[in-house]
Structure 1
Amino acid sequence: MTEPASTDPASTPPSATPPSPARAWILSRSSYPEYLRVASILRKETVGGALLLAATVVALVLANTPAADFYFAVRDFEVGYEPWHLKLSLGAWAADGLLAIFFFLAGLELKREFVAGELRVFSRAIVPVAAALGGVIIPALIFAAVNFGGGAGAVRGWAIPTATDIAFAVAVLAVIGSHLPSALRIFLLTLAVVDDLLAIVIIALFYSTDIQVIPLLLAVLPLALYAFLAHRYANFFVTRAFAAWLILLPLGVMAWALVHGSGIHATVAGVLLGFTVPVLHRDRDGRVGDGPGLAESFEHRFRPLSAGVAVPIFAFFSAGVAIGGGQGLVDALTDPVAIGIVVALVVGKPVGVLLATWLVTKTTRASLDPDLAWVDIVGVAVLAGVGFTVSLLISELAFGHGSVEDDHAKVAILSGSLLAALLATVLLRARNRHYRRVEEKEKTDADHDGVPDVFPA
């Protein structure tokens, strides 16, 4: 008769003891292809950030010189067709039309991240997603607390300090952080992309008024046809760019116009169109193969248009605020609306990002990668307080274009973003010097496969 196995833990051989779950490292190095893709994006966004800064400076100069009347006349000049609700000022065309390109690209990036990028793995996705949520909730609460006594009109701007500007933040990081670990760059980029998604959800839910059901339902038709053609003929559109412009672009414009006519901010259409584009390259039998998918192809085509044209033009028309000299600047920055924005960007944003990241390490089996230090996360969290493009857009939606509150909010957005960038520069430059010394001590050659040893196989 066989003796039953002992259930005494002491009698269990060590080899039979179930191993404890492996500890996951957050913000660890990504794969080498992902590193190369992100590096390419960062280079293009750096150029976009420089153009964005130049457009902002020109707008501020024109708005505060004798050329102000000409600048505002151009910004407010209306063109379009009224029956379709498309007779808009040039400034509104930039905010509603050109920014749709920016959000289309954000939709492409986010879907690519979830399907084939860093966010497809839960252990990697949880950190930037949680950080983005923290970076939205805490700044919103701080703004609301500062403006609680100002009534519903002031509190309506609660979402202004919640977004991180990809172009500006990445441009700063590229200038000061050439030796920083790639994981930090990917973290900032992913956080900013998730921020964009949260911002567009906020705009759709809280800043859309007088919803018209019929145009909204009609928008489903071109959107569905766009999705069908993009999936059915993805490889055709990858190899023949002109076909996408001739076939898909008119459908996209139609969907945009109907969403705009429905009362929902038209940039929502850009994100929805981006989400419909397939990411993976598939052969005729539906198998995943090598080569770029349609989403990657569209990213290459639209990123220069977004970073080099759409966003700088929007900044040119939106950032031009008549400050009115030193006293005007003081009046703007002492407005509770402005105080709430500056404090939320400079303090609330990094606190939210840090708190969420720290909570992930305390509530899961994840720990910060041993190659990084928490001060690195502090620097990137402070840099996340650089809010511009989406913040300017939400300010106009919250307070009305050209209102006193809108002007004060824009001054605060510029001031808070500049202060956040300067503080992040101080922190990250010190860390950049540290990692430069580390690289000098631990230089490694590439393997025979061309992948540096520091990256996982």
Structure 2
Amino acid sequence: MYRVWTFLTDYSLLLIIGALLALVWANTDPHSYHHFVEYPLFFNDLVGADYAYWKKVYGEGYDTFDAGGASMVVSMHYLVNDMLMAFFFAIAAKEVWEAVILKNGSLRGKKAATPLFATLGGMMGPITIYLGLAYVMGSTTFDAVANGWAIPTATDIAFSYLVGRLVFGAGHPAVRFLLLLAIADDAAGLIILAIFYPSGDLALEWLLVSVFAAVVVFFLANWLPRRMDRHNQSRPNSTWVREKLGFWPYAIAAVFSWYGFAASGLHPSLGLLPIVPTIPHADRAFGIFSAAERYLTDLLNQIEHALKRPVEVVLFFFGLLNAGVEFSSIGDATWLVLAGLLIGKPVGILIMGWVAAKPLGLGIPEGMRIVDLVVIGCVAAIGFTVSLFFAAAAFDPGPTQDAAKMGALFSFAAAIISIIAGRLLRVEKQDT
């Protein structure tokens, strides 16, 4: 119990508090909560939500703010979901990158393919369950909810990662497996969002900005100094770059990369991912926020630990701004989304993960069992944030959209199911 409490206080307590406050606020004064979530911080013509869209979602009272003719709005919701959460996803990407690239990484080589197969199963399973049950419920229900088929395909990286750590322990290879699956799931989900639920025209050429930023910073701040020091063991150039410039070249590159994602039409919260592999890293990984990594001098671990406290605060606001849904919204779409997530996710991940690991011979990370895929599937059934995005994109504001959002919110039940499944399937926690 002490370890559980330590985990909660160190990593997820602020997130849980934010979500609970959102639920209470939205069910006692939904008008003020909604206006808080969409409160405009500043208007501009460069970044943010489209002004016409913001005006619609803010609703009555939007004209009390002077936009000055600006075409975009940075609201509280946009600031947290689209900008600040990029730091959390960057930390998650750091763990996956180390698991793939380092000599002792649990996802090296062909074993990295198994989580991707599991990701495919974790998307096809929910779609099948959602549409199948909707069809059984009758044509009226099917016609009303069919456009929301993508809602239960999502996996919330933040909550899933936190629950995964609680169930498996920080050092279990299943946590890195889950991270790769969740990131791949959300990446695929955001492509689905852009293709099937477009809010505007895609401009994928803007992704070249992200690629260019990553290539330039890797060449100038990483590869070139090491190349210049290749015959000098004192490494003066690499040392100068590390001590004098620090993280700043990568921070500048991150800004350009984030903007490239934002301008491309893809979700900008993943905009820092191309920069993570360019940062100098250690020779081995000890696990995210591991105490042992505090003694490593590589820049990647230094950045990760510098972001620890700020990201905890970001997670609080993430919960506060996304979990506020009224309980009166429950409907058919609620149960369809839940069934897709709680049944389709575990079944799909188990089937496709097994196919990849056994018949295809791709294997799974050392220290994992096939049966662990069931627990991973239960953890991955926490849809939350991307499911909420899908619900808002799939349906016009109204009862069906609200019911679908309730399904995304109730997917938190997967956390309890995951803990129970972990006990029943005798998961051995690995904290280091």
Give the TM-score taking structure 2 as reference length: 0.71
Name the larger-Rg structure. Answer: 1
1:129-144 map, 5 Å: 129-144=116-131
Match of 1:91 among 73, 77, 93: 77
- Distance of 1:81 and 1:192 partners within structure 2: 35
Name the CA distance, whole Å, in 2 between partners of 1:218 and 1:171.
32
- Identical residues among aligned pairs (%): 26
Deviations 1:74-101 (A, max 9, x none): 2111123422143222112222112222
**Equivalence for 1:298:** 303
Please say if residues 341 and 409 of structure 1, whose CA atoms lie closer than 8 Å, have aligned partners that are also in contact.
yes
Partner of 2:95: 109
The answer to whether residue 201 in structure 2 is matched with residue 210 in structure 1 is yes
Q: Aligned to 1:320, what secondary structure does the other structure show? A: coil
CA contact (8 A) 2:114 2:364 kept: no
Comparing 235-244 with 382-391, which one deviates more in the overlay? 235-244
Unaligned runs of 5+ residues in structure 1 are: 1-39, 283-289, 440-454
**Separation (CA, whole Å) in 1 of partners of 2:189 and 2:315:** 20
The alignment partner of 1:386 has SS state of coil
Given the superposition, is the C-alpha separation of residues 399 and 229 from structure 1 closer, same or farther in structure 2, using an over 3 Å criterion? Answer: farther
Mapped partners of 1:303, 1:242: distance in 2: 21
| Structure 2 letter corresponding to 1:348 | G
Residue 105 of structure 1 deviates from its aligned partner by: 2.5
Q: For residues 271 and 136 of structure 1, what CA distance do their matches in structure 2 show?
A: 22
Equivalence for 2:419? 425
Check 1:408–1:276 CA distance in 2 against 1; reply closer, same or farther (3 A cut): farther
- Cα distance in 2 between the residues matched to 1:369 and 1:252: 31
Q: Cα gap change, 1:262/1:378 in structure 2, threshold over 3 Å: closer, same or farther?
A: closer
Query: Residue 243 in 1 paired to residue 230 in 2?
Result: no
Aligned position for 2:152: 161
Aligned residue type for 2:45: P
Equivalenced residues, count = 372
Report how far residue 320 of structure 1 moved: 0.8
Distance in 2 separating the partners of 1:270 and 1:142: 34
Specify the alignment match of 1:26 in structure 2: none
Instruction: Please say if residues 146 and 340 of structure 1, whose CA atoms lie closer than 8 Å, have aligned partners that are also in contact.
Output: yes
Contact 1:204 1:268 in 2 (8 A): no
Distance 1:90 1:358, change over 3 A: same
CA distance in 2, matches of 1:389, 1:241: 39
CA distance in 2, matches of 1:242, 1:205: 39
Q: Which residue does the alignment assign to 2:254?
A: 252
Return the alpha-carbon distance in structure 2 between the equivalents of residues 435 and 198 of structure 1. Answer: 26
Aligned to 2:266, the other structure's residue is in SS state coil
1:199 CA drift (Å) = 1.4
> Which of 315, 340, 343 lines up with 1:344 in the alignment?
340
1:60 is aligned, of 20, 23, 26, to 23
Retained in 1: the 8 A contact 2:96–2:176?
Answer: no
1:415-456 CA-to-partner distances (Å, cap 9, x unmatched) read 2331x2233333323455x969xx9xxxxxxxxxxxxxxx9x
Distance 1:221 1:121 in 2: 26
DSSP 3-state at the match of 2:267: coil
C-alpha distance in 2 between matches for 1:369 and 1:218: 34
Q: Distance in 2 between matches of 1:367 and 1:247?
A: 38
1:270 alignment partner AA: L
For structure 2, the 5+ residue unaligned runs are 49-72, 227-237, 285-294
* Residue number among 258, 271, 276 corresponding to 2:273 in the alignment: 271
1:411 Cα deviation after fit: 1.2
Match of 2:316, as an amino acid?
Answer: P
Whole-angstrom CA distance in 2 between matches of 1:54 and 1:344 = 27
What residue number does 2:108 align with?
Answer: 120
Does structure 2 retain, via aligned residues, the 8 Å contact 1:259–1:265? yes
Q: 1:200 to 1:49 in 2, by over 3 A?
A: same
Give 1:269 deviation, angstroms: 1.7
Corresponding residue for residue 310 of structure 1: 314
Report SS of the residue matched to 1:363: coil
- Alpha-carbon contact 2:201-2:265 (below 8 Å) kept: yes
Deviation track 1:22-78 (CA, whole Å, cap 9, x = no partner) reads xxxxxxxxxxxxxxxxxx9xx878833332222111101011114x33322221111
CA 132–219 in structure 1, closer or farther in 2 if over 3 Å, else same:
closer
Structure 1 residues 314 and 241, CA gap change in structure 2 (3 angstroms): farther
Please list the CA deviations of residues 303-362 of structure 1 after superposition, one character each: whole Å capped at 9, or x if unmatched: 4433x0223312211111123xxxx24xx2x32x32221011111011012112332454
Q: In 1, Cα distance between the equivalents of 2:324 and 2:162?
A: 21
User: Measured at CA, do residues 277 and 44 of structure 1 come closer, stay the same or move farther in structure 2, by a change above 3 Å?
Assistant: farther
> Residue in 2 aligned with 1:414?
409
After TM superposition, the score normalised by the length of structure 1 is: 0.68
